[in-house]
Structure formats: structure tokens, C-alpha cells
């Protein structure tokens, strides 16, 4: 079946995520019949380099033989079982390994089945913890400008990307939003560390004024991914950890996108040497194979819920597929690969290749900034380089880059006018150069007039 014939079947029944479906009149969805390593192959045999790891989930390429075999073996044993009242080897083994790998003191693992649900779990657990301690005035959350934590109503409420949030504003809980340490806004010549540290004064003031009513501060450590891949310095996390302790407020680290080696360390929090009170993990957790998420927390949090049933302190939250054995098995296999192949060290070399492949792009007359944290590199396009005036959003320049890249066999998916790379860790240097060259061409075309 041709791509077009299949697209017609698709468009007759499907409603795609994060899509204005009318856009498909001009550009039909690309049907994929096979994946192998960094490559996706469509119904007509054309290949696309997956430069965005299929929405930031894939770590070791598509159809990895080791992960495939692990899932096949588990499938013969047990596909799924209720996790309330029952247990199984992959869930326990994965909790053992995650609590061992995570920053110190995160000794408890609660499973859910997608990123947004993990954020909901962390928010509810934090609020409920304070309530169990008798601190019933604590009902609010603090978040950073330009942050993203998912699409369910609680997760959407603590996020701050207007495009996703504004429509639903009347449905959302009220949160306290603090300016971001995002280094795009630093002064000329100012270091990332100086700017991010300077930005902390707003957070300090907010906590000083509101700590009595605040349950937790939620942040995406180091990179605000859905918020245009904006980046900041680890010093902010250090200051935040210290202030949360001082004011008696939880710190929730949403590492759903940045966890598992994306930023140059296994977890981004490691670069600040901090332990959050809640660590939310998903996306790369299963190597990009199956939906799963986990919230890691401290023994003190766990103990605040522990007691006789009649005290009604228990955390009665659940999802049907919580801790699914196949998904936990994929996660265990992915962790094996981290150990076996010394992925973090290899990623440092790949990150350097990504920087080299994009040299000179920062001098382009319509590029405001090229920024990088580990295996994430972003190029921000603007209409006016000096004033950093963006292009009118209606012109959809980033979409022109997307279309060009597809025609050249690369899957780039700019966030607005921010072109970025977030490839699987098995990408080869020549593939990095291909991805960068195609982005360069796309940027030249999209900014030509
Ligand atoms: C993707 C993402 C989420 C939401 O995860 P889903 O699995 O898409 O619900 C939450 N937080 C961050 C930082 C994310 O990037």
C-alpha cells in the first residue's frame, strides 16, 4: 500500500495528538512500517533519521535486539497483573535498581503509566503528605515560567506553555508562577551560572511570602524541553534545594524528558548534587518501548502515609496498567545497556560531535542562539538577530524546516521556530553530520525571505 493510500485510511478514522488535523490536507501523516536503529522506514521504503527520538522517548534506537529479546522472554512468563495486593519480579527488580541509581535517599518507588500521571502522583503525594502531618493550609504549588509538565488538568495547571494551557485556564487550579532562570535572557557577556543564580531572588521572595500555603516547587531540571528547549545552570537547583529545606516546602524534579542520560549525567539533578523530594521519570525509562512512569521519593514521605487503615492516611491513587511487567522489563533491559556500554561517557563524545556539526550556525543572520546541554542541542530562529524579535508565529517558519527535513529523510520537529536535535544515543558521527546539514539547509530556506 502506498503512503498516500494509507494516509487516507488513517485520516478517515484517526485524530492525531498535538495536531491541527486540517494541516494534513497539505501534508499527510507519514506511515511507518519499520524501525531499525536511528532509522524509520515508510510504506514506500523511504527512510527517515529519527533526530527527536520519537518524541524524546527512544534511547538505544528502534528494534534493539537486546530489549526485544528481554520483552519476548517476559511475554512468555507474564504479560500483566494487578499491582495492588499482587507483585512480580520486574516491578521489584526495577524499583531496586532505580532507587539504587537515583540521587541518595530516594528509597521508595511508586509506578504510574505515563509522564503526566507521574506528575499528578507527585502533586497529590506532596499535598497529602502535608495534610497527613496536619498542615492543611498547604494547598498550592510553585512553578517556573515556560515550564511543561504534561497535559492532564493537574499537570497542565503547573505548566506554563500558553499554547497548551490558555484555552483550559478556567478548568485549572491556581498556581504561583515564578520567572524562569532560562539563560536565553542573560545579558551579553553574563555567564549561565551568574544569570541563573541572579534569577533565584524571585523564587526566594515567593517562598518567603507563601511557604505556609505551598506544598511544593516543581521544576524541569536544567532544560525546559517543551518550552523551546530553554536551558539554565545547575546552580539554580542548588539554591532551590537549600531554600525548599529552609522554608519547609517539597521539591519535585520532573526528569521525564531530561532523565536517563539526556543532559550528560544519568539524572540532571546530579549536576547540582541535590536530591529532590520527588523524582518523576518516564519517556526514556523504558528505552522508548512501552508506557511506564515512576515517582521516587524519600522514606519520610512514605512513613507519613503508613499506619492502621482506619487512620485513612493511605495513598489510594492507582492506574490500571501501573507497573506493567512488559514495560518494567523493557526498562530493566535499557538499564542493562547503560551499564554494559558506558553510555554516559559515549554521550559526551556524541555531544561534542553535535556541537562540531553545528559550528558557525550561531552566526547565521536569523539565528538568535545555538544552545546545548548534553544530548540536546537547539537553534532558535528570529526575524531580527539584534533585537531578537521573533518571526510572526503565523508564518510557521519552523514548519518549513520540518517539511524540508522530511523531504531529505530526517525527522526534525521544531518547537515553533526552535529547531532542535535530541537523537537516540546510538547515532553515528556521520548521521549527526547529516542531521545538522539538513537542518542548516532547512533554516536557510525558511529564513530566505
Ligand atoms: C513529556 C513530558 C511530560 C508528560 O509526559 P507524557 O507521558 O507525555 O504524559 C511531563 N513532563 C515533562 C518534562 C515532559 O517532557
Residues 323 and 289: their CA atoms lie apart, in Å, by: 14
Q: How far apart are CA 102 and CA 29, in angstroms?
A: 38
Kindly write down the DSSP assignment for every residue of 142-184, as one continuous string: EEETT----SSHHHHHT---HHHHGGGGGGSPP-EEE----GG
Residues 296 and 346 in one domain: no
What CA–CA distances, in Å, run from 351 to 54, 100, 216, 261, 411? 19, 26, 33, 11, 19
Q: Which residues contact 120 (CB under 8 A, 6 or more apart)?
A: 112, 150, 152, 154, 155, 317
Question: 3-class DSSP state for residue 326?
Answer: helix
| Residue of 113, 115, 180 with the most ligand 1 atoms within 8 Å of its CB, for mutation | 115
CA of 113 to the centre of ligand 1 (A): 11
Q: Does residue 39 fall inside a structural domain?
A: yes
Residues contacting 4, CB < 8 A, separation 6+: 28
Domain edge (last residue) among 300, 320, 340: 340
The SS3 of residue 240 is helix
* Nine-digit cell string for 192: 549561565
Nearest to 152 by CA among 135, 133, 171: 171
| CB of residue 254 inside a 6 A radius of ligand 1 | yes
- Residue 114 CA, closest ligand 1 atom number: 7
Give the CATH number, domain containing residue 336. 3.40.640.10
Write the residue with the smallest CA distance to atom 8 of ligand 1. Answer: 115
CA of 281 to the centre of ligand 1 (A): 9
In a domain, 14, yes or no: no
Residue 182 falls inside a structural domain: yes
237 in the same domain as 136: yes
Q: What are phi and psi of 360, to 5 degrees?
A: 90, -20
pTM score: 0.98
Among candidate residues 340, 358, 373, the one where a domain is terminated: 340
Same domain, 359 and 377: yes
Q: Provide the β-strand partners of residue 253.
A: 219, 279
Q: Which among 50, 37, 54, 93 has a CA at the least distance from the CA of 70?
A: 93
Same domain, yes or no: 132 and 188: yes
CA distance 399 to 405: 10
Ligand 1 binding pocket includes 226 (Cβ within 6 Å): yes
Residue 238 domain boundaries: 68-340
Determine the 3-state secondary structure of 41 from DSSP. strand
The protein residue whose alpha carbon is closest to atom 6 in ligand 1 is 115
Q: In angstroms, rounded to a whole number, what is the distance separating the alpha carbons of residues 184 and 192?
A: 9
304 lines ligand 1 (CB under 6 A): no
User: How far, CA to CA in Å, does 417 sit from each of 44, 68, 322, 441?
Assistant: 30, 36, 37, 15
**276 vs 339: CA distance, rounded Å:** 24
Q: Is 404 helix (H, G, I), strand (E, B) or coil?
A: helix
Q: What is the pLDDT of residue 449?
A: 86
- Ligand 1 pocket check for 282: Cβ under 6 Å: yes
Q: Please give the backbone phi and psi of residue 171, each rounded to the nearest 5 degrees, phi first.
A: -95, -5
Point out the ligand 1 atom lying closest to the alpha carbon of residue 258: 13
DSSP-derived letter for residue 62 is B
CA of 89 relative to ligand 1 center, distance in Å: 27
Residue 297 inside a domain? The answer is yes
In a domain, 129, yes or no: yes
The answer to whether 391 touches 405, Cβ cutoff 8 Å, is no
CA 178 to centroid of ligand 1, rounded, Å: 20
Q: Which of 206, 196, 203, 271 shows the shortest CA–CA distance to 240?
A: 203
Residues 371 and 226 grouped into a single domain: no
Quote the ligand 1 centre to 116 CA distance (angstroms).
6
Residues 228 and 331 in one domain: yes
Which atom number of ligand 1 is nearest to the Cα of residue 224?
A: 13
Please answer whether residues 103 and 280 qualify as being in contact, where contact means their C-beta atoms are separated by less than 8 angstroms: no
Element (H, E) at 416: none
Q: Are residues 236 and 92 in the same domain?
A: yes
Same domain, 144 and 189: yes
State the distance from the centre of ligand 1 to the C-alpha of 283, rounded, in angstroms.
Answer: 7
- Say yes or no: 168 and 148 in one domain: yes
Top mutation candidate among 57, 144, 226 for ligand 1, by most atoms within 8 Å of CB: 226
Closest to 184 measured CA to CA, from 154, 145, 151: 145
CATH of the domain at 389: 3.90.1150.10
Residue 81 within a domain: yes
Give domain status of residue 417, yes or no: yes
State the 10-residue block means of pLDDT for the chain, 449 residues long. Answer: 95 98 97 98 98 98 98 98 98 98 98 98 98 98 98 98 96 98 97 98 98 98 98 98 98 98 98 98 98 98 98 97 98 98 97 98 98 98 97 98 98 98 98 98 96
Residues 298 and 430 in one domain: no
Residue to probe by mutation, ligand 1, list 165, 218, 256, 422, most atoms within 8 Å of CB: 256
| Same domain for 358 and 245 | no
Specify whether 82 is located in the same domain as 200: yes
Separation CA 327–CA 420 (nearest Å): 28
Contact 194, 109 (CB under 8 A): no
Measured between alpha carbons, how far is residue 58 from residues 62, 67, 70, 121, 378 in Å? 7, 12, 16, 24, 18
* Total Cβ atoms within 10 A of residue 188: 4
Is 208:247 a contact under the CB 8 Å cutoff? yes
Assigned domain for 19 exists: no
Angle between helices 429-446 and 343-357 (to 10 degrees): 40
What are the CA-CA distances from residue 145 to residues 142, 263, 390 (Å)? 10, 21, 18
Last residue of a domain, one of 302, 319, 340: 340
State the total domains in the chain: 2
Amino acid at each position: 500500500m502506498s503512503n498516500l493510500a494509507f494516509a487516507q485510511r488513517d485520516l478517515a478514522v484517526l485524530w492525531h495528538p498535538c495536531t491541527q488535523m486540517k494541516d494534513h490536507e497539505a501534508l499527510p501523516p507519514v506511515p511507518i512500517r519499520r524501525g531499525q536503529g536511528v532509522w524509520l522506514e515508510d510504506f514506500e521504503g523511504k527512510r527517515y533519521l529519527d533526530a527527536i527520538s520519537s518524541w524524546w522517548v527512544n534511547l538505544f534506537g528502534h528494534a534493539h535486539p537486546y530489549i526485544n529479546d528481554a520483552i519476548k522472554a517476559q511475554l512468555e512468563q507474564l504479560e500483566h497483573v494487578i499491582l495492588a495486593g499482587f507483585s512480580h519480579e520486574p516491578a521489584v527488580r526495577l524499583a531496586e535498581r532505580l532507587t539504587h541509581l537515583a540521587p541518595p535517599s530516594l528509597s521508595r518507588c511508586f509506578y504510574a503509566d505515563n509522564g503526566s500521571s507521574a506528575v499528578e502522583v507527585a502533586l497529590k503525594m506532596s499535598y497529602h503528605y502535608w495534610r497527613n502531618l496536619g498542615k492543611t493550609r498547604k494547598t498550592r504549588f510553585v512553578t517556573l515560567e515556560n515550564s511543561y509538565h504534561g497535559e492532564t488538568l493537574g499537570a497542565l495547571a503547573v505548566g506554563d506553555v500558553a499554547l497548551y494551557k490558555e484555552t483550559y485556564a478556567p478548568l485549572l487550579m491556581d498556581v504561583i508562577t515564578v520567572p524562569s532562570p532560562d539563560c536565553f535572557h542573560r545579558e551579553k557577556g553574563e555567564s549561565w551560572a551568574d544569570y541563573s543564580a541572579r534569577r533565584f531572588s524571585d523564587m526566594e521572595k515567593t517562598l518567603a511570602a507563601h511557604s505556609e500555603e505551598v506544598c511544593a516547587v516543581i521544576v524541569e531540571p536544567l532544560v525546559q524541553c517543551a518550552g523551546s528547549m530553554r536551558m539554565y545552570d545547575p546552580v539554580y537547583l542548588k539554591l532551590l534545594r537549600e531554600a525548599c529545606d529552609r522554608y519547609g516546602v517539597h521539591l519535585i524534579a520532573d526528569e521525564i524528558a531530561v532523565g536517563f542520560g539526556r543532559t550528560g549525567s544519568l539524572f540532571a539533578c546530579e549536576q547540582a548534587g541535590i536530591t529532590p523530594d520527588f523524582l518523576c521519570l518516564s519517556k526514556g525509562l523504558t528505552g522508548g518501548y512501552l508506557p511506564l512512569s515512576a515517582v521516587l521519593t524519600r522514606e519520610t514521605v512514605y512513613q507519613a502515609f503508613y499506619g492502621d487503615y482506619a487512620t485513612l492516611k493511605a495513598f489510594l491513587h492507582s492506574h490500571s496498567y501501573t507497573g506493567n511487567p512488559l514495560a518494567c522489563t523493557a526498562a530493566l533491559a535499557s538499564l542493562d545497556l547503560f551499564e554494559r556500554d558506558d553510555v554516559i561517557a559515549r554521550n559526551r563524545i556524541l555531544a561534542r560531535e553535535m556541537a562540531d556539526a553545528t559550528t558557525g550556525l550561531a552566526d547565521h543572520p536569523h539565528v538568535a542562539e545555538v544552545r546545548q546541554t548534553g544530548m540536546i542541542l537547539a537553534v532558535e530562529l528570529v526575524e531580527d538577530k539584534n533585537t531578537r524579535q521573533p518571526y510572526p508565529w503565523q508564518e510557521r517558519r519552523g514548519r518549513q524546516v520540518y517539511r524540508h527535513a522530511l523531504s531529505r529523510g530526517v525527522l526534525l520537529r521544531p518547537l515553533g521556530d526552535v529547531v532542535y536535535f535530541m537523537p537516540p544515543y546510538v547515532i553515528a558521527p556521520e548521521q549527526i553530520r547529516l542531521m545538522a546539514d539538513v537542518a542548516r539547509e532547512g533554516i536557510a530556506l525558511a529564513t530566505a525571505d
